[in-house]
Amino acid sequence: MRTGVLYGPVQEDIALVEATFDSIKQVDYAPLAKMLEIVLAGGGKLLRPALTLLGGRFGDYNLDLLVPLAASVELLHTASLVHDDVIDNAATRRGRPTANSTLHNATTVMLGDYMFAHAADQVARTGNIRVIRLFSQTLMMMTRGEIGQDLTAYDSRQTVRDYLQRIGGKTASLFATACQGGAVVAQESEEWIEALRVYGHNFGMAFQIVDDILDLTGDEAEMGKPVGSDLMQGTLTLPALILMDRYPGDNPVQKFLTSPSKELLAPAVEAIRGSDIPQESYKMARDFCASAHEALSVLPAGEARQALYDLTDYVLERRS
């Protein structure tokens, strides 16, 4: 599926968000401008900004307010990835060199901080205190999820419930904020604002589950990162947790966690790929998509609602 088609009535307006990023890169300090070019070079799907704009299509679709909000959501997401890559010591992301592979880690952390500040500046341009508070609360939720992930690395005592709580904070919260924030800025009814928040949360849960499935089953060239990267970092995702539940105490994932190495990673990944666990994991993602669909039922029919509906199909079918 082509995202350009799926974004429907807001596709052309995505260019305004991209123009915002271009303006952010125009700084009078050459080293910083070069760093920003690395992380804002384009090529991303801009899914979160699109959801922000789609969330605003059911009310007062004021691009002077919605575009800064959409830009802030993507900047917040990108800044968090910059910090994640430092923590994970990742050399590539989506097939491109990461900032920390080019710069010193300390410099990269400060670059992420700079982008967080720009994200805050963009959301402040909406002049909407409710959205500004939502932005800060979301950042806290994301950080809490990332802290939880870091503190439980290689911990085999984790459960599927722990996993769902973690991704609800570190991933789904921002999708929920994108949709909800767009609706708030567009001055929609509280019923519609809540519906879009619920849609965004369930969309984000499905998105992360599929991302975690692809980390273990996808094609390295398409994903732009090695297969099994999450597990190599000690991050237990849904497929690995299902395997551990099925074979408690004696399974290749447990063996890897006990003594992490590339040699033990391969059989752990293969055990998941060669089973029906990916299909079982996809079923959970489909259930979250079904909940997202249900949330849309209160919104008026039209191009925007259809685009939101179609995007859940894209999430389930994507390969990178």
Q: Give CA–CA dist 54/63, Å, rounded.
A: 11
pLDDT digits (tens, 9 = 90+) for 107-134: 999 999 999 999 999 999 999 999 999 9
Cα distance between residue 119 and residue 77, in whole Å: 9
Q: Residue 200's CB: how many other CB atoms inside 10 A?
A: 29
- Select the more confidently predicted residue: 268 or 1: 268
Q: How would residue 3 be classed by pLDDT, with cut points 50, 70 and 90? A: very low
**What mean pLDDT comes out for the span 72-76?**
97
Q: How confident is the model at residue 102 (pLDDT cuts 50, 70, 90)?
A: confident
Predicted local confidence at residue 43, as pLDDT: 64
For residue 306, give every residue at least 6 positions away whose Cβ sits within 8 Å of its Cβ, in sequence order, or none.
8
Least confident segment among 75-84, 204-213, 222-231: 222-231
Q: Which helix (H) or strand (E) holds 17?
A: helix 14-24
DSSP string, 161-219: HHHHHHHIIIIIHHHHHHHHHHHHHTT--HHHHHHHHHHHHHHHHHHHHHHHHHHHHS-
Position 1 scores a pLDDT of 46
Secondary-structure class of domain 12-317 per CATH:
mainly alpha
Q: What is the SS3 assignment for 96?
A: strand
pLDDT at 156 over 80: yes
Average pLDDT over the chain, rounded to whole? Answer: 94
Give pLDDT tens digits for 4-60.
Answer: 578 999 999 999 999 999 999 999 999 999 999 989 986 689 999 999 999 999 999
Q: CB 26: neighbour CB atoms within 10 A?
A: 8
Q: What's the pLDDT tens digit per position in 263-314? A: 999 999 999 999 999 999 999 999 999 999 999 999 999 999 999 999 999 9
Q: Where are the domains of the chain?
A: 12-317
How crowded is residue 61: how many other Cβ atoms within 10 Å of its Cβ? 17
CA 265 to chain centroid: 25
183: Cα within 13 Å, side-chain hemisphere = 27
